[in-house]
Structure 1
Amino acid sequence: MSRELSNWQELLDSFTETGVRQGKVSKIHQTRSNNAERIKILLEDEELRVVLLKWMNHQVKRQRSLEAAKCFRETGNRQFSLKDYTACIEMYSQSILSCPVENEVELSLALANRSAALFQLDLFEDCLQDIRVALTKNYPSHLLPKILTRKIKSLRKLGLMEDCQTTLAELEASLMHLQVSEKNKIKSDIKVMLMDDQGNENTQDRDSEFDDRIIPFCGENLSFKGASAALDISRHSVEKSRYVVANRDIMAGETLFVEQPNALVVLPDFQTTRCHHCTRELPLKRYPCLSCGKIWFCSNACRQESSCYHSFECGLDSVLNSVGIAHLGARIVVSYGLETILAFLKDTEKVKKISGIDSSYDTKSYQVMFHLVSHTERMAPDELYQYALTTAFLTLLLEQHTKFFQLASQEDRYLVGGLILVHICQMVSNAHAITEICALDENSERQERIATAIYPSASLMNHSCDPTVINSFQGNTLIVRAIRDVRKGDEVFNCYGPHYRRMRRTERLEMLESQYSFVCTCEHCCDTNTEDFQDVIYSFACPSCNGSLVNPSGSYSPAQFQMTLCRSCKTQQSYFTQLKADLEAVSLDARGTEAMDQGDIMEAIKLLTKCVQLRKRALFKGHPDLGKSADKLAQCYAFIGNYEECEKMLRISLIAVEERYGRYSIEMANELQKFTDVLMELASSRNQDLRDELVRHLEEAMFIYRIHYGAWSHSYKELQRKKIHLTKLLMK
């Protein structure tokens, strides 16, 4: 089987196409409930194994040569001269990895050069470690004064004065062969350094970014780690998976989960700017992996904690990045370690017990991870085959390029491979994207995905297209808050993506079944007798009661006589007038927008005013087109300082946004923020009622930003400042 060395997904697609023809795809799918057997079948396919090894070795490329070592070191030297210490550390590390064992001098030079870069980053312990190794590798004697001087400086920075005196003696001895002028210069430098009483200060790891520690509503549930004491795990029957219920009444805004990830993987685009272990933005003082030089940490503590998995992943980042979410599935197994995994599999009691039902739910326990739903048997044959192929590849990678399976039998390797497959399939339906709020400008923010993680407690929430909660992040901590009131005994629902306010029923059902392998049974999906929410929003207005008209299903009668039912007053109404008005409004909106873009604000106001008037009569109050036209007109009035008219238009837009997205949506918060900006302009000249309304809307917007983004977000803090300013204004 000939395979081009393409990217991993192309290779998978090619294997799958061939596997379908040869019956391999159906064979893997029919090997029911035995994932270890699936991996065994694939790895014992010699033709497949050869191609996987060829592709793997092409990606890893770990050949040693003196020429490569020198090339990497010289590149590092150029970057050092440019003071790009992060980049040069990676190059020096690659030089160390590439250097043949017998070329000790070249190896010592790379280590010494890397120690210089580490010193510049105030990583004195790492610097000393490299110096110690370099001195055991036949380091050139004429360079000894330079490296020993650096060693003395590092020891003094760390307050190790006894070791400093010993090294001073070594330095004195190394000066013997130097000329008098060189010797005197080094001695002078040492004397100045010893007189510097600032050297004993020890640099501390940076403090936490977040001062506020969030506590779940009613405190943490000791039997359900990361969850509020107001929540329980329940299960109706053996057939139905576990789910989350409220054990008391919960109000909107309450915090229901504050959970640390069991495992996470930073996305490739952020691996040079984020801590590999905790996702924090890397500070100026950052800690590299001293083996590969490619992975960085925000603190020495993170570097040490990551060793349980990075010791096996080191140098394999490009390969692991290529397999996407499967990397997270493999990391779960690697993090727990071979001994823990095999011990768990042999403990039949633990394997049988369901955490949260038969025992407490400890999110750090492998038992919890093992029993997360994977939907493996529900997957389409080709989808399962690709995940199994990826698992076989990862199992082979651990076998060929790490010591993970060093003490494992062949059967144990298949068992562990089967578990990796389970965890990969779990990640498809249970993984969360860790996001961070990034400011686009002074008035807007967006969520940026920086990592993928698994949160075992929050993963127990089932999906609803009308969810109970909204998720946000504080660093890598998942914060889940209620966005509506929950009664005692009610199930708590998350949203896996498709929301009834944002997607049609048929699209939601198709997406959920395709990605998560289940048919949604929430109220908005099951009740096919009820109209789709999208039809209600995108409807004409009733001329009698301003309610929404049922969208016509088609008629062969003349347009002016076509009739449809009003959802509110239940009367038959003609929609011909509304249709005609909206067609005119479409043209006016386009011309008004063009005038805005050209800077002709007065012409834009004239056109958009007519457009809004027509759409107010023609369209339902929640129709997005009405809201957008009103918002454009508000922008025009704000531009010329007419805040009275701007306020009127934003009130129309606010109604449309609330009808479309809901009271606690982020869109509502953004619209309220604009509205409060305008009310602030009017506050000093209007009555107390308007000021009271302003305070109420400020608090509403702050509440929404808090549950979506957290009290540390730019938008929340901006509204806080606005409220303080208003208080001062009212006191005058």
Structure 2
Amino acid sequence: MNEMFLSCCLLLILGLCNERMENDRFYRNLCSMETLQSGSKGFFQEFSNAVVDEVGDAWITKVFGKANSDEERIRIIFTDKKIKDVVLETLNRVQELYRDKSADISLKRRLEGIMENVAGNYEKALLLLSQAVLRAPPTGKVKNIDQGLSLALALFARADTLMALNEYQLALEDLQSAEKEGLPDSLRAKLHWKIGNCQRTLGFGEKARISLSLAEKLLPPERITERRELMKDMDRLNFNESLEKPKEIDKEPNPAVILTGGANATFPGASRLLTIKETQDAGRHAIASEEIHPGDTLAAEPPLAACLLPEFYGSHCHHCFTRLRAPVGCSICSSVAFCGSSCRDTAMSTYHKYECKIIALMIGSGMSILSTVAFRMVTQVGIEGCLEICKRIKLGQNNINEANEESRTKSDEKLAISKSAKRRLRKKKLKEAGEKSAEDLADFTGQEMNEEQNKSHVDLRAYELVTLAGQRSPEDFLRRTLMATFHLKCLQKVGFFVNPSKFNEGPSVEELLVGSLLLRNLQLLQFNAHEVSETRLGNDHRFRGSKTIYIGVAIYPTVAFFNHDCYPAVTRYFSGRNIVIRAIRPLRVGDVLAENYGPIFTKRSLVERQRSLTGRYWFKCSCRACYEDWPGFKSLTNDCARLRCPSEGCTRLLVQPREPKKPVKCPGCQKKVNLEHRLNKLRECELDYAQGHAIMEAERVDDAIQAFAEALEKFHKIASPPHRDTHLAEIALAACMAISGNTWKPTNSGGGERQLALL
């Protein structure tokens, strides 16, 4: 009877374990797919499901699963009879899809904006006129509307509204842009008049005189009233010579972040207070190379690649992620907006010239923002940058060797880059760079080409990051390969390749190499990317009611080496697209510099954290909070903290004594020690925390940071967490430091997000 009962229990336990393992496997696969595609939206999920169903589990395991390289996986998609036709049937239908310019809509929005401006509704007018600017076609393209001057007229009208809002620097930029686009003669005098007024208000006296004088020359004599007003403006300028220094304007970049201890000579964007160590269990990870104190800035790194979430295309700059005020647009599409000409020109000269005409298709596919970043890593460096990356990380050697082997067959035309194609590639590069004349191009030798390639620079740091390829299932690889081939078809469609393969041809060597690079990106980003955020402040108080909003995703190769801890040592925030890492507790030399990947011990149980981290990042966390199973906030108290043994050289932690004055024996050093002094210091820390919170409530941010930093330094010298007040203080310190990064306060009038409705 007992044996039967035990057998039943064992079978029940085994059944529960198998069920849990199956659930965990399902959750892991679900998490992995979420990094590739966004839920059930878009056509890509339906497409990939159809392909998986068509080829079947046996083919996926026995054929596709045998591929040992990314380039081989890409090749199989295009060559294997089992999968080729079903994939190409969909991918060959890839077409340009984007939101075009519209002179009609631009005119309508401009007239609506002018009416709102006259009525004094300046913010609404600014929104409408910004839409008019973004939808306006290039000058001269649509001549039957506004004589082809839609963009110039929209900029001119928006400048009026900006001047009414006292934003003269932005108004001046719009007026100068309108001047470049060309305005009718009837408006040229008014244009220079407004430019002069902006310059006068900003303190550029001499420039204002020139602009106002030019306006006077252009103004017809019969317009007596306007000439009188113009002369008054010139008289005001003559009597106000104190305006020679330009005023401080609102449109300033985020202040430069200073790294504590200076810059690291080995790891870009990091402080010299840290280094990267590699161990078998933890891989490559950041540790302290010197003592670190709360508040120290340990990293300030620009992204290798970053993409804005589509829902913020109407509120943030597509390139630098700053909030839009008077945006400018792409010359071709109306899908994105930029904060100014500098960001626009940078984007247009690199990635956006390829992404522009397929941006709506990519969003409509349902691909995740991580997949978009994987695509951006390719488009921003161009075809030559991709080929150089492949060469330097030794990616695609099988393709190159096979291409050489098959160069004596007909398929050479499909797999090798012809000399004429190379020549066109070189010619295109030099034409863009403006380095040589046509005669120089004709004599451009292979040796010179090699020298030119040696001068180029590509950032390879991302390709040192883990992909966990050895742990991926064949189906996971297949779905990522399908995404990479979709990306590849998009690149073919937008002219990324100088000599793209034809409809009925297999991919060329360079296409296979770029495809394998895309597949590599899709793997490494799954575990190494960061969400870019901004802090949305409360209406009545900086901190009460504030929350973190995620606006994009980026890859930071140095910060990607920071491992996870459910009790993090650092916090992160963002300044534009740059990530900033600062310490929230003291660390000794050799201590791990860990950040938090999402699940934190104060909010989520051990089981929840382990399931989340195993499913999303494929590792089982063994941090101290997990090993000791620290309680969450619901049951966490200050009595949970342990005191450090006061004996010199002893690292033992001791529970808080019930009788503070009574000595206790330390199990570590075997000495009897009195903990009363340490306990009193602990109570002092708790009072210091309360003082820090009071300073924070008064919104004295810098003073609050100093108060919390000093109190936390004191706590960690005499005690060890978990300790409720300490964790609250660390959270408060992180919130105070984030104020110096991306922040936004909703206006009381609108209340919500100011969007330009681009998509």
Which TM-score bucket, shorter chain as reference?
Answer: 0.5 to 0.7
8 Å Cα contact 1:465-1:495 kept in structure 2: yes
Q: Which has the higher contact order (CA 8 A, sep 6+)?
A: 2
Structure 2 counterpart of 1:265, from 282, 291, 307:
307
Q: Which amino acid aligns with 1:82?
A: E
Contact 1:312 1:398 in 2 (8 A): yes
SS for the counterpart of 1:462 is: coil
Partner of 1:533: 630
| Deviation at residue 449 of structure 1 after TM alignment | 1.8
The answer to whether 1:460 aligns with 2:495 is no
The Cα shift of 1:368 comes to: 0.8
Which amino acid in structure 2 is aligned with residue 16 of structure 1? Answer: S
- 2:383 corresponds to 1:338: yes
Alpha carbons 2:192, 2:215 under 8 Å: kept: yes
1:708 & 1:232 partners in 2: Cα distance?
A: 26
Alpha-carbon distance, 1:315 to partner: 5.3
* Per-residue Cα deviation, 1:439-463 (whole angstroms, up to 9, x for no partner): 2343342222222222211101122
Distance 1:126 1:32, change over 3 A: farther
Q: What is the CA distance between 1:476 and its match in structure 2?
A: 3.4
- What is the distance in 1 between the residues matched to 2:726 and 2:689? 10
Alpha-carbon distance in 2 for matches of 1:702, 1:500: 15
Structure 2 residue 466 is the aligned partner of structure 1 residue 439: no
Alpha-carbon distance change, 472 to 21 in structure 1, aligned in 2, over 3 angstroms: same
| Displacement after TM superposition at 1:108 (Å) | 0.7
Structure-2 residue corresponding to 1:416: 514
The question of 1:117 aligning with 2:157 is answered yes
CA contact (8 A) 1:216 1:228 kept: yes
Q: 1:403 to 1:166 in 2, by over 3 A?
A: farther
Q: Retained in 2: the 8 A contact 1:264–1:451?
A: yes
1:231 aligns with 2:274: yes
Instruction: After TM superposition, give the deviation of residue 256 of structure 1 in Å.
Output: 2.0
CA contact (8 A) 1:90 1:293 kept: no
Is 1:301–2:335 an aligned residue pair?
Answer: no
Question: Structure 1 pair 37/203, CA: closer, same or farther in 2 (3 Å)?
Answer: farther
What is residue 483 of structure 2 aligned with on the other side?
390
Given the superposition, is the C-alpha separation of residues 475 and 347 from structure 1 closer, same or farther in structure 2, using an over 3 Å criterion?
A: closer
Matches within 5 A, 1:12-411: 12-23=44-55, 26=60, 30=65, 32-42=67-77, 45-52=84-91, 54=93, 57=96, 59-60=97-98, 69-70=103-104, 73-83=107-117, 84-91=125-132, 93-94=134-135, 96=137, 108-117=148-157, 119-120=159-160, 121=162, 122=170, 144-153=184-193, 159=207, 186=223, 189=226, 192-193=229-230, 196-197=233-234, 206-208=250-252, 210=254, 213-236=256-279, 241-283=283-325, 285-307=326-348, 308-314=350-356, 316-321=358-363, 322-325=366-369, 326-347=371-392, 365-400=458-493, 402-406=494-498, 410-411=508-509
Distance in 2 between residues matched to 1:7 and 1:250, nearest whole Å = 41
Q: 1:46 to 1:19 in 2, by over 3 A?
A: closer
- Residue type of the alignment partner of 1:270: F
Question: Is the 2:137–2:150 contact (alpha carbons within 8 Å) kept by the matching residues of 1?
Answer: yes
Counterpart of 2:552 (choices 451, 468, 477) is 451
Quote the residue 1:582 is aligned against. Answer: none
Alignment partners' CA distance in 1, 2:284 and 2:396: 16
Change (3 A) 1:49 1:75: farther
Native 8 Å contact 2:273 2:288 kept in 1: yes
Give the superposition deviation at 1:15. 2.3
Cα offset, 1:115, TM superposition: 3.9
Which secondary structure state, in structure 1, belongs to the residue aligned with residue 46 of structure 2? helix
* Cα-to-partner distance string for 1:476-522 (whole Å, 9 max, x where unaligned): 33222233333322332222122344333333232222212333344
Identity of aligned residues (%): 22
Partners of 1:536 and 1:112 in 2: CA distance: 58
Match of residue 737 from structure 2:
710
Report Cα offsets for 1:678-718 as digits up to 9, x if no partner. Answer: 9xxxxxxxxxxxxx99xx9999987753344417469x9xx
Which of 11, 14, 20 in structure 1 is aligned with 2:43?
A: 11
Q: 1:669 to 1:393 in 2, by over 3 A?
A: farther
Give, as a single letter, the amino acid of the residue that structure 1 aligns with 2:342: A
Q: Name the SS for the 1:479 alignment partner.
A: strand
What residue is the counterpart of 2:750 in the other structure? none
2: distance between equivalents of 1:42 and 1:80? 55
- Give the C-alpha shift of residue 304 in structure 1: 3.3
Give the Cα–Cα distance (whole angstroms) in 1 for the partners of residues 625 and 39 of structure 2: 41
Contact in 2 for aligned 1:244/1:492 (Cα 8 Å): yes
The DSSP-based 3-state class of the residue aligned with 2:322 is coil
| Distance change (3 Å), C-alpha of 1:162 and 1:306 | same
Deviation at 1:310, TM superposition (A): 2.6
CA deviation digits over 1:549-571, x for unaligned, max 9?
xxxxxxxxxxxxxxxxxx999xx
Q: How does 1:506-585 map to 2 (within 5 A)?
A: 506-523=607-624, 525=626, 527=627, 532-534=629-631
Structure 1 position 111, deviation (Å): 3.6
CA distance in 2, matches of 1:101, 1:501: 59
Please say if 1:673 is aligned against 2:693. yes
Distance 1:314 1:187 in 2: 48
User: 1: CA distance between counterparts of 2:257 and 2:44?
Assistant: 43
AA of the residue aligned to 2:516? G
SS for the counterpart of 2:516 is helix
* Aligned residue in 1 for 2:439: none
Cα separation, 1, equivalents of 2:607 and 2:728: 33
Q: Write the letter of the residue equivalent to 1:230.
A: L
In structure 2, relative to structure 1, the CA distance for the partners of 1:474 and 1:96 (3 Å cut) is: closer
- Picking from 460, 473, 495, the partner of 2:596 is 495
Q: Is the 8 A contact 1:344 1:351 kept in 2?
A: no
Partner of 2:380: helix, strand, or coil? helix
Alignment equivalent of 1:479, drawn from 580, 591, 610: 580
How far, CA to CA, are the matches of 2:526 and 2:212 in structure 1? Answer: 54
Secondary structure of residue in 2 paired with 1:273: coil
What is the letter of the counterpart of residue 333 of structure 1? V
Deviation at 1:386, TM superposition (A): 3.6
Q: Unaligned stretches of 5+ in structure 1?
A: 1-5, 136-143, 173-182, 353-363, 549-566, 570-654, 679-691, 717-732
In the TM superposition, residue 38 of structure 1 has moved relative to its aligned partner by: 3.3
Q: Residues 713 and 167 (structure 1 numbering): CA distance in 2 closer, same or farther, change over 3 Å?
A: closer
- What SS class does the counterpart of residue 78 from structure 1 fall into? helix
User: Once the two structures are superposed, what CA deviation does each residue of 1:41-63 show, in whole Å capped at 9, x if it has no partner?
Assistant: 44674543443465755x5365x
Contact 2:270–2:298 (CA under 8 A) maintained in structure 1: yes
- Cα separation, 1, equivalents of 2:157 and 2:232: 24
Higher mean C-alpha deviation, range 287-296 or range 425-434: 287-296
Shift of 1:101: 5.7
Shift of 1:244: 1.5
Normalising by structure 1, what TM-score? 0.60
Q: Is the CA contact (8 Å cut-off) linking 1:465 and 1:524 kept in structure 2?
A: yes
Q: Which ranges in structure 2 are unaligned for 5 or more consecutive residues? A: 1-37, 118-124, 163-169, 200-206, 238-242, 398-456, 502-507, 642-653, 657-678, 699-709, 716-724, 744-759
> What is the SS of the residue equivalent to 2:137?
helix
Partner SS state of residue 447, structure 1: strand
**Distance verdict in 2 for CA 1:109–1:492, change over 3 Å:** closer
* Residue type at the aligned position of 1:336: V
